[in-house]
Amino acid sequence: MGKDFSRGKWVALFHPPIYDFTAYDLWLRPLGLYRLASYIKKYTDFNFFLFDYMDRNSPLAPPTRSKKYGTGKFYRERTEKPEILRRVKRFFYRFGIPRARMEGFMGEFPPPLAVFITTGMTYWYPGVGEVVESVRRVWGNLPVFVGGTYASLMPGHASQFGEVIRGEAGCKAVEVLGDVSGRRFSCGGEPLTMLGLSGGNSSVFTTTRGCPFRCSFCASFLLHRWRKRPREIVLGEMEMAVRLSIKDLALYDDALLVDSASHFKPIFREVASRGWDLRFHLPNGLHVRLVDEEVAWLMREANFKTVRLSLESVDEDFLRERTPKLSLEEFERAVLHFERAGFLRRDLVAYVIVGVPGQGPSSVLKTLDYLEKLGVKPSLAYYSPVPGTKDFQELVSRGYLPEEHDPLLHNKLLFPYMEYSPLGEEDFQTIRRRAFEIVSALKV
Ligand code: SF4
C-alpha cells in the first residue's frame, strides 16, 4: 500500500454485492464510480481506491466460468430469501466477492476520509446495507455518500445508508469532499473517464447520456439529462482503452443513435479509420428506427460484435401506448441493413419485454413467433416497476403497489405473482421454454 493511503487522506469507492435470484456479468461495471474517480483525481488531491465486489477478475474473487468478450458468471452464495419474495420458487443468492474476504482486504487500509457507494436496481439495496455495515465494522463512523440509480430514484429510502447524491455525481462529489475535509476545490469540465479501474481486459463507456424518449416503463430521463458527450472525450477514452490493453468495450448508451449524423457516425468513422484492436458491444437495445445503411456498415467496420435491438413487442397497441420508438416495418428494415452490412441474422439479438402490467402471454408468444420467422434471437427482458415512471405511478394509483412499500417488490422475477400481471407462473415457464427453443435452433 502506498503512502498516499494514510488515515483520512483517501477516498473509498464501493460497488456493492448483489442480492437477487439471478445475476449475470453482461459487462456489469461501475461506470458511475469510474467517472467519480476521474473527477476526484482531476479536481482534488485525494487518492482513491475502488472496492468492486462484482469484479470477477479481482484476486479476491473465487474463480467462475467466463464466457466470450469479458462476460461470465458471478461467484454466488445461497442466502436466505426475504419473506416478501417467498412466493418466487427459486433460490436466493448473494453475488460477488465474499464478505469476509472483502472486509479482510479493507482492513489493510487505514480509515479513509469518506466513502462513496454506487447503487443499481432499486431492489438491490440490501447490498448497499451490507457495505455500510462492513465500513462501520472495519473503519468505524465515517461520512458515507450514496449515489447511482437506486439512490437517485428513491432518495428517501436510500438516506438510511448515507447522504444521497442524486444524478450525475462528478462535481457534487468534489464539493462534498471539500466540505468533509474543510477545504475548497474548484470543479469544471468533464475529465476523461478512467476505464481501467476494474480487472480484466473489458470495460464500459458511453458516447451520450440519457435518452430523449419517454417510454412508460423506463427511468432513463429521470437519471440523466439527454446529451452528447464531447467527441474528443469519447475518442480519448477509446484511445485510453487501447493503451490499457482493453479489448472489449461495452457501450452503456441508452440512445446511441439519436442525432447520429453529428455524433455516432463521425465518431465511428474515425474509429474505423484508426484500426484500433477493440471489439464493441451493445448490452442495451438500439433504436431500430435510427439504424440506416451507414450505421450498420460502420458497426461492421468498427468491429461491433454484440448488437442488441429494441423490439419489446409486436403488439401495435403496446408499442403505441408505451414505447413509441419503433414500428415493425422499421425493425425489419434495420435487420436488413445489418444483414447487408455483413452481420448474420442469428447474431442479432432483440429484446422482448415480459411482465408489463396488463400484458398477456399471447402477446409475448406472438412476438417470439415473429422473431423466429425473421431468424433473429430473442432475449427476454423482465418487467420491473421503476419509481418515477408512468407505469409505476399507475400501479400505485390503482393500488397494485402500496404508496409505501419495500423496493424488493420491484424484483424483475416477481411479476408472475403480482395482481397487475395476467401472466402467471405457468405462462412464464412456457414463454421461457419457447424463447430457449428459438435461440437453440438459431445456434445450429
Ligand atoms: S426504453 Fe429506451 S427509448 Fe425508451 S426511454 Fe428508455 S432508453 Fe429511451
Domain regions of the chain by residue span = 3-181, 202-443
Compare 219 and 444 and report the one with higher pLDDT: 219
The alpha carbon of 258 and the centre of ligand 1 are apart by a number of angstroms equal to: 11
Are 157 and 119 a contacting pair, CB within 8 Å? no
Which CATH superfamily groups domain 3-181? Response regulator (3.40.50.2300)
Q: What is the mean pLDDT of the chain?
A: 94
Tell me what pLDDT residue 324 has.
74
Ligand 1, atom nearest to 325 Cα: 3
CA–CA separation, 163 vs 171, rounded Å?
Answer: 16
Res 253 pLDDT > 80: yes
Based on the number of CB atoms within 10 Å of its own CB, is 402 exposed (0-12), middle (13-18) or buried (19 or more)? Answer: exposed
Res 373 pLDDT > 50: yes
CA–CA separation, 225 vs 205, rounded Å?
Answer: 17
The alpha carbon of 444 and the centre of ligand 1 are apart by a number of angstroms equal to: 32
Smallest CA separation from ligand 1 atom 3, residue = 213
**Among 132, 127, 115, 122, which Cα is nearest to 154's?**
122
**DSSP β-ladder status, 18-20 and 144-146:** unpaired
Are 423 and 415 a contacting pair, CB within 8 Å? yes
Compare 160 and 169 and report the one with higher pLDDT: 160
Query: In the predicted model, what is the mean pLDDT of residues 172-200?
Result: 93
- Scanning the structure block, which residue is given the C-alpha cell 475518442? 235
Which CATH superfamily groups domain 202-443? Aldolase class I (3.20.20.70)
Residue 78 parent element (H or E): strand 76-79
| Percent of the chain whose predicted confidence (pLDDT) is above 70 | 99
Least confident of 134-138, 252-256, 316-320: 316-320
List the grid coordinates of 393.
405511478
Tell me what pLDDT residue 444 has.
67
The alpha carbon of 270 and the centre of ligand 1 are apart by a number of angstroms equal to: 27
**Among 437, 419, 416, 435, which Cα is nearest to 427's?**
416
| Percent of the chain whose predicted confidence (pLDDT) is above 90 | 89
Q: Which residues line ligand 1 (CB under 6 A)?
A: 211, 213-215, 218, 220, 254-255, 323, 325
The answer to whether the 3-181 and 202-443 domains have the same CATH topology is no
Query: In the predicted model, what is the mean pLDDT of residues 146-154?
Result: 97
Res 212 pLDDT > 80: yes
